[in-house]
Amino acid sequence: MVNIYKFRKFFITLLFSVLMANISLSQTTEDHMNWWHEARFGMFIHWGVYSIPAHGEWIMYQENIPFQEYKKLADQFNPQNYNPAEWVSLAKEAGMKYMVITTRHHDGYCLFDSKVSDFTSVKTGAGRDLIAEFVQACRDADMPIGFYYSLVDWHFPGVLPHGTREEDEVYSDMVEQAHAQVRELLTNYGKIDILWYDMLQPTDPKLWRSTELNEMARQLQPDIIINDRAGVEADFGTPENRVTAQDRPWEACYSMNRSWGYARYDRNYKSVHELLRLLGSCASQGGNFLLNVAPDADGRIDIESVERLRSIGRWMKTNGNAIYGAGPSPVVAPNLGMETRVGDIVYLLLQRWPGSTVPIAWCGSKVTSAILLANGQQARIEQKGNRVWLHDLPAYPVDPYLNVIELHFDGPPSPSSPAYK
Ligand code: GLC
């Protein structure tokens, strides 16, 4: 009798723990992107042996450099000024909340230790695992870590030029290597937050066994967030150098100038205003903004990027509440800029300052207060039905880039009719 009772108790406890484990598992999968949505702004880093010739990350392809010649770059690649802690603190200063680094690009050069390749920073010039150092720096600063991984590997014989080979053993070796290296990356460096694939070339997810690859990734890192560039259903979309909202989580990635990898003579930098406009545009449509830096071969980030990131950081200190965790707003100030919503607060991110009165139209809720974040000034509110005017603001803009007005309402903000976008 006693034994049966004991068993019953045991089974009930077992059932309860299995149920609880399932609940927490489903919560993990449902919630695993919360921090990423909250973050809204991340740093992308393109770095590799292509930083030596300094003509961008596609140079091997662009100049059709044979691998035997290209590989000599790896012996020269020995960055003396690589200090990832400085990169992390620059990202923090800019208000960025995660970082994604190229663990290897299309040329196949790995910044990490790999058992299945000799073309790595450990086995050539640098003699160190540069990714391990990066991971350590992020972890020391509580910075979420993303690994960019190029699926295609141009150093495999026959892979270049694109598309001339039929599916054959060349590709199967490359695919095997990718599976092995994704396993290494997600096994050897502790918790990794994002897996950022690139360049499914040939573009056939079956050939790459992409579903299996993602299953393995999630098995190794249950909370990992995976992008869509392995060609199968994943966690987020990746519009490149354009802001295109999607009906699922998305992140627009942008280069600081016209190149992803270090390009010494590329002077075509985006302005701070343009970068903030892009960040605001992503947040106002519920997406993330991943902004690239391209360190030189010695590990230094160019002053042009550093200055821009610092200016963005100063703006974020004052206005960051309009970005983090933000999504689209139902209330708008038409034609003056962008709007975001965080909870019941709406932020107007004004690009064009209208003078001392800011008009809002088709507003269905009562505005209770309006603050210009750049100087903390309260506006005088006039509201007639769905028309609102924010008066007594400075005649000229206080912030040189985007002036943000924080609006509070007597309840959840709503439009009087859908805004014309
Ligand atoms: C493209 C390019 C690549 C860059 C990437 C960033 O796929 O081939 O050089 O790394 O976009 O999104």
Same domain for 163 and 236, yes or no, is yes
Decide whether any atom of ligand 1 lies within 6 Å of the 260 Cβ: yes
Name 414's Cβ contacts closer than 8 Å, sequence gap at least 6. 330, 331, 364, 365
The pLDDT assigned to 403 comes to: 98
Ligand 1 binding pocket mutation candidate from 260, 262, 288, 293 (most atoms within 8 A of CB): 260
Beta bridge partners of 371: 378, 406
Classify the C-alpha dihedral 177-212-37-361 as positive or negative: positive
198 lines ligand 1 (CB under 6 A): yes
Report the atom number in ligand 1 closest to the C-alpha of 46. 10
Q: State in Å: Cα 206 to ligand 1 middle.
A: 22
- Whether residue 415 is found in the same domain as residue 305: no
- CA-to-CA distance for 283 and 348, rounded, in angstroms? 12
> Angle at the Cα of 186 (from 181 to 187), degrees rounded to 5?
95
Number of structural domains found in the chain: 2
Identify whether the C-beta of residue 262 lies closer than 8 Å to the C-beta of residue 54.
Answer: yes
Phi then psi for residue 7, to 5 deg, are -60, -40
Tell me, yes or no, whether 311 and 349 share the same domain.
Answer: no
pLDDT computed for residue 28 by the predictor: 42
CB 240 within 8 A of CB 265: no
Angle of CA points 29, 30, 35, to nearest 5°: 95
Q: For the chain, which residues score pLDDT lower than 50?
A: 1-2, 4, 6-7, 9-29
- If one residue of 198, 241, 251, 288 were mutated to test the ligand 1 pocket, choosing by the most ligand atoms within 8 A of its CB, it would be 198
Whether residue 61 has its Cβ less than 6 Å from ligand 1: no
Indicate whether 159 and 54 sit together in one domain: yes
Q: Strand 358-360 and strand 387-391: pairing? A: antiparallel
Domain that holds residue 46: 4-322
Q: Does residue 79 have a cis bond before it (omega within 30 degrees)?
A: no
> Which of 50, 103, 199 has the most ligand 1 atoms within 8 A of CB, as the residue to mutate?
199
Q: Is 146 helix (H, G, I), strand (E, B) or coil?
A: strand
- Establish if 154 belongs to a structural domain: yes
Query: Smallest Cα–Cα separation from 332: which of 272, 285, 287, 275?
Result: 285
* Omega within 30 of 0 (cis) for the link into 161: yes
What is the distance in A from the centroid of ligand 1 to the CA of 29?
28
List the CATH number of the domain containing 373.
Answer: 2.60.40.1180
pLDDT in tens, 171-229: 889 999 999 999 999 999 999 999 999 999 888 999 999 999 999 999 999 999 999 99
Query: 401 with 278, same domain?
Result: no
In a domain, 329, yes or no: no
Half-sphere exposure of residue 95: CA atoms within 13 angstroms, side-chain side: 24
Does any ligand 1 atom lie closer than 6 A to the CB of residue 251?
A: no
Residues 211 and 294 in one domain: yes
Which atom of ligand 1 is nearest the CA belonging to 199? 7
pLDDT confidence of residue 165: 55
What pLDDT does residue 15 have?
47
